[in-house]
Amino acid sequence: MSERFRLMLAQLNPTVGDIAGNAAKAREAWQSAKAAGADMLALPEMFLSGYQTQDLVWRPAFQADLYESLKALAYECADGPAMGMGVPLTDDTGLHNCWAVLSGGRIEAVIRKHHLPNTSVFDEKRLFVSGDISGPYRIGPVRIGTPICEDAWLSDVAEAQAESGAELLLVPNGSPYARNRFDTRMTHMVARVIETGLPLVYLNLVGGQDDQVFDGASFVLNPGGKLALQLPAHEEAMAVVDFSYSDSGWHAETGNRVLLAGPIEQDYQTMVIGLGDYLRKSGFKRVVLGLSGGVDSALVALIAADAIGAQNVHCVMLPSEYTSIHSLDDATELAYRLGCRLDTVDIEGPRAAMQAALAELFAGLPADVTEENIQSRIRGTLLMAISNKTGALLLTTGNKSEVAVGYATIYGDMNGGYNPIKDLYKTRVFDTCRWRNENHRDWMNGPSGEVIPLRIIEKAPSAELRQDQRDEDSLPPYAVLDAIIEGLVEQDLSVSDLVAQGHARETVEQVEHLVAISEWKRFQSAPGPRLTNRAFWLDRRYPLVNRWRDRRSE
């Protein structure tokens, strides 16, 4: 009879700093693993502390609490399967990103991460000390090598563990969502399987933390790179993986292989989960937002309804003399279809009072953008007052195109605690609205059908801060604007590169200038879920004061 090994994978959603809560989730998963007859339970990278901790992990008291909790888990889970989980631990060499194996009532093994990522959203070289490459450890009949996340993106750790006798690679991860990230992960993991000839388990965190959303999508590969198991993206999941041994080594039995969604749906679910987890983990139960009758606020309202239910979404219309009748009608129709509360607060009284207060100081000066921004800041103040009074988190609604070029008013429509569409370009806002009108999933709490009226999607975008205003009065058409911003921000292309693609030099230089002078606004903007590899904040860090512009002509 061939040898067998049963592994329980726990793709779960921890909360940063909630050591007791994360430990409770681990104990509950361990009970399930025990009931399933598993030899081992595996939990993702940094599970006990939550991820990413940033500088919280430096606190000695936090480190002490983690270690005491880890020891307690080992003691409480002694009579049953081994358990592996990610946790930061300190030794004589410093603080490490570790994966601890608990067995028989004690901490049986500690694997220290060797390669510390220091790109995009990661600062691990700042936080942790690199550990030596760890050898394999034995659980029952199998010797397991554990490259931790980044360790498996390079070849040396997995190869060293295979050469040291590892028969199975178990890779715990804290890998946040970014568009097309799954294909990149799969490519790297298949390479490790081909190089070592070993089966590989890729186990990822799930859930939102600040601007990052960990998307799960864990999987198992057999030797040769064949997919044996695929867990869903963006939801907690547990799965038993049975391995059997033959003359050719260990192989995983084929399990459920979930088909992953397309890019628009993945982005949308990331925004829904990012907002929902931010609220839940911060203690908020309701949200409030300004509903303008435009497409951005409509999409944010729908994301909120899908995250926490329409009954917890409070929309407020704040019209001025420049607000069109169709905007009022569209906002009303959206709120009706959505099933959320809608109130109207006219801003003409506060605007008149503010203009009267400033009349003496502004005497003799022509009207300009100042008067437009006053309207936006009145709205921001009123919405913040409602947020304070009701305890609902204020959502802001600027898309990535607007955030990039500063087409928003600081302390006005940028007011808010979270922005679900911060990393979504305007052209993708339109695509996402159309997709959501045509699709409904079980994880959506909002209604099905055409929730966003087509007129909202199809009409020309306008801030409605002056008579007959259109966004394209100040900006290039959004299809052009987004292509230029994507080149400048996502790809670091030069002005000349974009001109060579067919864009007018004057337009590219205008956009580049707007992106540069808006850095200070982005520095003060609300967080929002990361969808791309160059989201504003940790992915792209620029000085607030920056006089350089790309004006090379070659």
Q: pLDDT at position 130, please?
A: 96
| Ranges of CATH 3.60.110.10 domains, the chain | 4-259
Q: To which residue do tokens 């009706």 refer?
A: 336
Q: Are 472 and 462 in contact, with CB atoms under 8 Å apart?
A: no
Q: pLDDT at position 358, please?
A: 94
DSSP string for 402-452: HHHHT-S-TTTTT-SSB-TTTT--HHHHHHHHHHHHH---TT--SPPS--S
* Catalytic pick among 77, 149, 315, 340: 149
Taking CA atoms, 302 is separated from 235, 299, 449, in Å, by 20, 5, 12
* Catalytic pick among 25, 77, 98, 113: 113
Q: pLDDT at position 34, please?
A: 98
> Mean pLDDT for each 10-residue chunk of the chain (554 residues)?
88 97 98 98 98 94 97 96 98 96 96 93 93 96 97 96 97 95 95 97 97 97 96 97 94 95 96 98 97 95 98 95 84 96 94 93 92 92 97 96 92 94 96 98 97 92 68 84 95 94 95 94 93 88 86 74
pTM for this model (two decimals): 0.94
Q: pLDDT at position 82, please?
A: 98
* Catalytic pick among 45, 150, 402, 486: 45
| Closest among 169, 168, 242, 177 to 205, alpha carbons compared | 177
36 burial type by CB count under 10 A (0-12 exposed, 13-18 middle, 19+ buried): middle
Q: pLDDT at position 1, please?
A: 42
Please say if 113 is a catalytic residue: yes
Helical (H) or strand (E) element with 90: strand 82-91
Retrieve residue 366's tokens: 């022509």
**CA distance from start to end of the chain:** 71
Alpha carbon 222 to chain centroid distance?
29
Q: CATH for 4-259, among 3.40.50.2000, 3.30.930.10, 2.60.120.10, 3.60.110.10? A: 3.60.110.10
Q: CATH for 264-523, among 3.40.50.620, 3.40.50.970, 3.40.50.11810, 3.30.1330.40? A: 3.40.50.620
> Strand, helix or coil at 518?
coil
Please say if 389 is a catalytic residue: no
Q: pLDDT at position 2, please?
A: 65
Retrieve residue 461's tokens: 């975008």
Please say if 450 is a catalytic residue: no
Q: pLDDT at position 522, please?
A: 92
| Ranges of CATH 3.40.50.620 domains, the chain | 264-523
> From start to end of 92-236, where are the E strands?
94-103, 106-112, 137-139, 142-145, 168-173, 200-204, 206-209, 212-215, 219-221, 227-230
From CA 233, how far away is CA 217, in angstroms rounded? 4
Q: To which residue do tokens 């990103």 refer?
A: 97
